[in-house]
Amino acid sequence: MIIGDRLRQMREEKKLSQGDMEERTGLFRCYVSRVENGHTVPAIETLEKMARALEVPMYQLFYDGDEPPKLPNLPKRKSDEIAWGSFGKEARYLSKLRRVLGKANEQDRKLIMQLAQKMRTTKKPRSN
């Protein structure tokens, strides 16, 4: 369902006019209309205002029902298993790598990726 349609449906269920929404949210009535008709995509902050005005939790703007949908059955990690780069020295290294790669051009990023893939596939012991 498109968010504008959902907002209109919820507003009408509560027997509120667009003018009522204007008073409750501080948003112009014409803006409320533009959102409901799909001409404008509201920001998260605007959706929060609208949810408050409709007196519903924000998640209800995104789907029907009284409760959030059940999460998919995702594979579970062991509780003591921590992803590489999630904290400490590794996180700082990963952050620095992201900054450097962000400044590189596309051709250089492809070259670095090919090099990393090559290094991964050729795990031969070094001879000294």
Q: Sketch the domain layout of the chain as residue ranges.
A: 3-61, 88-121
Q: Is the pTM of this model over 0.75?
A: no
Is the CATH code 1.10.260.40 the one for domain 3-61? yes
Mean pLDDT of 43-59: 92
pLDDT in tens, 25-50: 999 999 999 999 999 989 999 999 99
Residue 2: the pLDDT is 83
Question: Does residue 79 surpass a pLDDT of 80?
Answer: no
Check residue 60 and report its DSSP letter. G
